Structure 1
Amino acid sequence: MGARLPVLAAALWWGSLSAIGFVAVPLLFAHLPTSAMAGNVAARLFEAQTYISIACCALLLVVSKKKHAEKPEEWAQAAMVFVIAGLLLALLVQYGVAPRIVARQNLRLWHGAGSAMYALQWLCALRVLWSTARS
């Protein structure tokens, strides 16, 4: 189980980003009566996604090096920069961009920035999943 834990964490991280960002949130905007209602629910889903990202990244950081080992696990050598980048992107979106979107400040700019950061986080998670699955 210990050897597969990084794969499971990376798969949960990438899969939850995919499900929420590319399935659930678009469905909200397609089926709820107003975009304001959809936006409120979407904000809560993205917040939950941030907590999933934090947990998965923290777990990946913890298991990246075995106790008393001199160097990180093989998968971690290639993936650690993407784990940290993905974690930082999740935090930036949740605590830097999302409050401005909710406050409806310059929506085009902040929504575009948040979408780009979410897509970059998705790519980071995919790269980590790829690295963990190969080892």
Structure 2
Amino acid sequence: MVRLQIFIAALWWGSLTAVGFGVVPMLFVHLETPAIAGQMAAKLFSAQTWLALFCGLLLLWAAKRENLVHHRHTPSPWVIAGMLLALLIEFAAKPHILARDNLALWHNLGSAFYFFQWLCAGQVLWAKSPLKSEPAVAADATKTD
């Protein structure tokens, strides 16, 4: 179950990284007009929102199953925060951006929501990572002469 959670968290964080920091900036560089690039970016961000919500729900479901085994009842606040930020982008910022209603404000807010969602997904991925810092053991400490 832990490997599945790592995969889901990696998909969420990786898709946010690829779309927000790779694909969308390239749209504005390579498409004919900013309006066309903006329309395509809006579609990509909507797809990203639904992917984020799907990943978040899967992570919450996996955590619930894990919590039943270990008798804990705390969902990850990072998953919930990331999902809420995705919803804020889709249903609060995006309509104002598309309507060009106070564009600078809503674009900046949407960008901030996206960045904080990226941080939340990154925190979930980091927390699920099997790599834990362990005290270094000297190689010679285990040898007997």
Tell me whether the two structures share a fold, i.e. TM-score over 0.5: yes
Question: Among 86, 104, 120, which residue is 1:124 paired with?
Answer: 120
Report the Cα offset of residue 94 of structure 1.
0.4
For residues 108 and 93 of structure 1, the distance between their equivalents in structure 2, rounded to whole angstroms, comes to 14
Q: In the alignment, which residue of structure 2 is the partner of 1:82?
A: 78
Report SS of the residue matched to 1:4: helix
Point out where structure 2 has 5 or more consecutive residues left out of the alignment: 132-145
For residues 96 and 64 of structure 2, the distance between their equivalents in structure 1, rounded to whole angstroms, comes to 38
8 Å contact from structure 2 (residues 89, 114) kept in 1? yes
- What CA RMSD, in Å, does the superposition of the two structures yield over aligned residues? 1.5
Point out where structure 1 has 5 or more consecutive residues left out of the alignment: none
For residues 24 and 55 of structure 1, the distance between their equivalents in structure 2, rounded to whole angstroms, comes to 21
Matches within 5 A, 1:65-76: 65-66=64-65, 68-69=68-69, 70-71=71-72
For residues 102 and 66 of structure 1, the distance between their equivalents in structure 2, rounded to whole angstroms, comes to 40
Q: Which runs of 4+ in 1 moved over 2 A?
A: 65-69
Q: In the alignment, which residue of structure 2 is the partner of 1:29?
A: 28
TM-score (norm 1): 0.91
Question: Among 99, 104, 116, which residue is 1:108 paired with?
Answer: 104
Q: Quick check: 1:92 aligned with 2:84?
A: no
Report the Cα offset of residue 101 of structure 1.
0.1
TM-score (norm 2): 0.85
Q: In the alignment, which residue of structure 2 is the partner of 1:44?
A: 43
Q: Which has the larger radius of gyration?
A: 2
Of 79-88 and 21-30, the range deviating more from structure 2: 79-88
* Percent identity of equivalent pairs: 50
Deviations 1:17-66 (A, max 9, x none): 00000000000000001000000000000000001100000000000032
For residues 127 and 64 of structure 2, the distance between their equivalents in structure 1, rounded to whole angstroms, comes to 15
Q: How many residues are aligned here? A: 129
Report SS of the residue matched to 1:96: helix
